[in-house]
Amino acid sequence: MEKLKIGVIGMGRVGLVTATAFASLGFEVWGSDKDKNRIEKLKRGKTPFFEPGLQELLNKGIEKNALHFCANNKELIAEADVLFLCVGTPSREDGSADLSQVEEVAREIALQAKGKKLIVEKSTVPVKTAQWIMRTINLYSRGKADIEVASNPEFLREGKAIEDFLKPDRIVIGAENETAKEKLLQLYEKFNCPKIVTDIKTAEIIKHASNAFLATKISFINLVADLCEATGADVNIVSDAMGLDRRIGRAFLDAGLGYGGSCLPKDVKAFTLIGENFGINFNLLKEVDRINDSRIDRFLEHIHQALWTAKSKVLGILGLSFKPETDDIRETAALRIIPKLLEEGAYLKLYDPVASKAFMEQFPEDPSSFTYVKSPYESARDAHALLILTDWKDFRELDFKKIKKLMITPIIIDGRNIVDPEEVISVGFEYYPMGRRPWHPGRF
């Protein structure tokens, strides 16, 4: 079979990684997005968001002339043999996935495609979406093209997306016939990881089930963290000990402010609704969601325990992104904590290594109540407490002696248990973690 040409529709965090990674593997790739600015920036070699390693892949792809960016799907649909759908599937009000972008692209492909095409669901979609795509194709293509549909869900973590694409734990292929299966196996022939080849519905469920389970692990350990706080136990040690059981595994057992981002919160809600639409009781995942939501109030309790009141206090805020190594602020804890602190009359000094620009778009600086600063030390200057909302590695390695000198009162409230308690206690801080005993000089 001659080398397949690849089209990737949607130059977001999944699509752009998919396009540049396939280009780095020697494929000719077309990438399209309806956001013309984004396409113009990509043509000039500018990545629209921060993702470690993406800029290098983009440069290489453009250098080799293996990457073609288009502001509409016409050329891509004409040129590509395999068309990956990487468009957004955002949550609707009721938590279900909004598939209107998928439907729109499917219609466009059906009307324009000629010859053999394989449409591949890459974005996370509810089970049976492929059936709707197929129905749309049959309705609009009027037999002009021989179009197949398959599922190839992504398991990319922001901040590690390139590594997760090029060195995946597994590849999942959902196909209903040999042609579709063979084409996808050809794209991934250089990958020596387990390849699960199954029917499309099973492949669609694997993705949602995986994310829902990861969220369940996080909420489980946060539930245990609440009990540890109530009893004076240490959740970090519980996580370490549990994680040594290879059936459990240590990953995703870090207690703290819980999960944010554009995937886990959305996928838990969507999967719950899918289950209920098929008449199955998904209360387990409703509890996962509830526990996650309750992290914010738990953290605010720690702030009041440490400060009595946040009113007229200066608070340094470290971390605005939903997790380290990304500038993505979707569903980040900061978006829920900061308004509550402002409501209480605190003055905030916000710092993040890369996400301040994104945060500023939603929270333009208002010097009368909060400001953005360029370093964690500026955030600590004249502060009554330092609040850690994202577990950036840098925050663990700060010069806490210097931080203490800058602060009015030496208090750290750590939403991600990222700081070494012994280190900060030894220089005289009060330290308030999640799911662990607070360290303060014997007050109360």
Q: List contacts with ligand UDX (CB under 6 A).
A: 154-158, 211, 214, 218, 252-254, 256, 258-261, 263-264, 322-323
Residue 361 identity (one-letter amino acid): E
In whole angstroms, the minimum distance from the beta carbon of 221 to ligand UDX comes to 7
In whole angstroms, the minimum distance from the beta carbon of 256 to ligand UDX comes to 5
Q: Which is nearer to ligand UDX, 133 or 218 (CB)?
A: 218
Q: Which is nearer to ligand UDX, 32 or 123 (CB)?
A: 123
In whole angstroms, the minimum distance from the beta carbon of 265 to ligand UDX comes to 9
In whole angstroms, the minimum distance from the beta carbon of 441 to ligand UDX comes to 30
Q: Which is nearer to ligand UDX, 257 or 348 (CB)?
A: 257
In whole angstroms, the minimum distance from the beta carbon of 299 to ligand UDX comes to 12
Q: Which is nearer to ligand UDX, 241 or 408 (CB)?
A: 241
Residue among 70, 86, 228, 263 flagged as catalytic: 263
In whole angstroms, the minimum distance from the beta carbon of 154 to ligand UDX comes to 6
Q: Is 263 a catalytic residue?
A: yes
Q: Which is nearer to ligand UDX, 298 or 323 (CB)?
A: 323
Residues with a catalytic annotation lie at 263
